[in-house]
C-alpha cells in the first residue's frame, strides 16, 4: 500500500517531505514496472466505457483491468447480461494487434 495524496501531489512523482514516516516507492516509480507473470495469468477483464454499434458489429472501448486476450481465442462475457462472444480483432490508433498484453500496474 502506498501513502499518496493526489490533491497535493505527495508521493505521486517525488517523495514527500510531508510524510516522513513513509519510506516506500512513489506511484510514478511503480507504474513504470513491467507486469509480473502473475498479472498475465489473471482472467481478462475490461471496464467498457463506450459501445459503438453498427449493423452487425459492435466495438467496445475501455480500459483493461487485468489479464490479456487474443482475437479468436477464449469466450468473453458482457456483464450484466452474460452474453458471450469471441473477440474478432483488437484495434488501436496504431493499427490492429495480434495479442492484447496485460496492463501495467
Tell me the H-state helices in 1-105: 27-31, 37-40
Per-residue pLDDT reduced to its tens digit, 52-62 = 888 887 788 88
Per-residue pLDDT reduced to its tens digit, 51-90 = 888 888 778 888 777 788 888 877 888 877 888 888 888 8
CB-based burial, 35-68: b 16+ in 10 Å, e otherwise: eeeebeeeebebeeeeeeeeeeeeeeeeebeebb
Handedness of CA 57, 70, 76, 93 (dihedral sign): negative
Our measurement of the distance from residue 34's CA atom to the centroid of its chain's CA atoms, rounded to an integer in Å, reads 13
Enter the pTM of the model. Answer: 0.48
Q: How many helices (H) and strands (E) does the chain have?
A: 2, 6
Per-residue pLDDT reduced to its tens digit, 14-23 = 888 888 888 8
Amino acid at each position: 500500500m502506498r501513502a499518496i495524496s493526489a490533491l497535493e501531489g505527495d508521493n505521486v512523482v517525488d517523495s514527500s517531505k510531508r510524510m516522513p514516516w513513509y519510506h516506500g516507492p512513489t506511484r510514478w516509480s511503480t507504474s513504470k514496472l513491467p507486469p509480473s507473470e502473475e498479472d498475465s495469468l489473471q482472467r481478462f477483464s475490461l471496464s467498457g466505457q463506450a459501445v459503438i454499434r453498427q449493423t452487425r458489429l459492435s466495438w467496445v472501448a475501455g480500459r483493461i483491468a487485468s489479464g490479456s486476450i487474443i482475437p479468436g481465442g477464449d469466450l468473453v462475457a458482457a456483464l450484466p447480461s452474460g452474453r458471450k462472444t469471441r473477440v474478432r480483432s483488437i484495434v488501436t490508433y496504431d493499427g490492429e494487434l495480434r495479442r492484447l498484453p496485460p496492463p501495467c500496474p
